[in-house]
């Protein structure tokens, strides 16, 4: 006998035990289902097969894009035809979803713009300090029983009195600003619009190019969309201070990774700290093979809390 309950479709794995327990509480209200497919082509076919008919809500993770592809076009239509009216994304960025297409198909989309602010800002600060102090080469040599390395790496730099340029002063950017200011950094930022004084909290608004040209560390905290894809590329690296540091905890696609590799190879950029990549989980080999680059496998929100 088929269930009379509406269905909720889970896309991706819920990693936190407490979150899984809370999700499973929905079983009193809905039939919890998962797809059988593991790639975008099969997922679209499964959507069209009627397997998800009666589904009212979808809960998705960032990594579920490997199953579904971007939620757009035929996928949105197939989900709408199945009865989906709500997609909940458990992250701040929603670039993996064509929101206008969902809106046209009467599907509401939600995200969690504040839940990840502190954890992501902490990750950005970790990468900032590691890259600025040039810690990574010796982290690698230490694990090879070579102490600091021979020859030892170049000396790093203290954060005190350095200018941190924050590109995208949303919740994560503002959280990072508070933490970096405690290290003695001066905070500049660029946004689509200038914040009011209370939200600026002492940060200085700069034009985009002025920010890029003048900061010692550039932190990317902006969403990925058509206007920001590849925004930090060859031309922007050439404008940055010689020896500046780049930190990216936003989306990999904001950076032209090939241009970043060239900027590192010529020492235009002294180091960088990255938690996100354009073609995750694949990483440009020029980044993997450069000891000056601090890399994390998209762990900005990887905390129990």
Q: Which of 200, 210, 234, 280 is catalytic?
A: 280
Low-confidence ranges of the chain (pLDDT < 50): 1
Is position 108 annotated as part of the catalytic site? no
What pLDDT is attached to residue 91? 85
Residues in contact with 232: Cβ distance below 8 Å, sequence separation at least 6, in sequence order: 218, 220, 246, 254, 255, 256, 259, 260
Q: Which of 157, 174, 251, 284 is catalytic?
A: 251
pLDDT, one tens digit per residue, over 95-135 is 999 999 999 999 999 998 888 899 999 999 999 999 999 99
What pLDDT is attached to residue 1? 42
In a 3-state reduction of DSSP, which class is residue 286?
Answer: helix
| Structural tokens at position 228 | 């920001």
Identify the CA nearest to 80 among candidates 57, 100, 62.
57
What pLDDT is attached to residue 3? 60
Contact 62, 88 (CB under 8 A): no
Q: Which of 48, 85, 181, 298 is catalytic?
A: 298
pLDDT, one tens digit per residue, over 225-248 is 999 999 999 999 999 999 999 999
Is position 198 annotated as part of the catalytic site? no
Straight-line distance from the first to the last Cα atom of the chain, in angstroms, rounded to the nearest whole number: 40
Distances (CA, A) of 268 to 151, 204, 224, 234: 22, 25, 24, 11
Q: What is the pTM of this model?
A: 0.88
Is position 298 annotated as part of the catalytic site? yes
| Burial of 133 per CB tally in 10 Å (0-12, 13-18, 19+) | middle
What pLDDT is attached to residue 114? 86
């Amino acid at each position: 006998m088929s269930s009379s309950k509406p269905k909720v479709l889970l896309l991706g794995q819920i990693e936190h035990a407490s979150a899984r327990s809370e999700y499973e509480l929905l079983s009193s209200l809905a039939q919890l289902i998962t797809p059988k497919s593991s790639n975008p082509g099969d997922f679209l076919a499964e959507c069209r097969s009627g397997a998800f008919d009666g589904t009212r809500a979808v809960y998705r993770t960032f990594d579920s894009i490997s199953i579904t592809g971007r939620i757009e076009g035929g996928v949105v239509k197939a989900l709408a035809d199945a009865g989906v009216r709500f997609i909940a994304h458990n992250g701040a960025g929603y670039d993996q979803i064509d929101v206008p297409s969902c809106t046209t198909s009467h599907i509401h989309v939600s995200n969690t713009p504040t839940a990840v602010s502190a954890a992501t800002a902490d990750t950005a600060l970790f990468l900032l300090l590691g890259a600025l102090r040039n810690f990574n080469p010796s982290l690698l040599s230490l694990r090879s029983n070579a102490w600091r390395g021979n020859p030892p790496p170049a000396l790093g730099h203290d954060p005190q009195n350095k200018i941190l340029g924050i590109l995208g002063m949303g919740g994560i950017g503002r959280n990072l600003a508070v933490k970096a200011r405690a290290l003695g950094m001066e905070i500049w930022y660029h946004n689509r619009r200038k914040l009011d004084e209370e939200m600026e909290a002492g940060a200085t608004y700069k034009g985009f190019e002025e920010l890029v040209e003048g900061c010692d560390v550039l932190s990317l905290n902006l969403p990925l969309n058509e206007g920001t894809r590849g925004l930090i590329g060859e031309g922007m690296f050439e404008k940055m201070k010689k020896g500046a540091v780049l930190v990216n905890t936003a989306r990999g696609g904001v950076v032209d990774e090939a241009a970043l590799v060239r900027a590192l190879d010529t020492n235009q950029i002294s180091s960088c700290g990255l938690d996100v990549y354009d073609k995750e989980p694949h990483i440009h080999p020029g980044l993997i093979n450069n000891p000056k680059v601090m890399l994390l496998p998209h762990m900005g929100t990887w905390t129990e809390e």
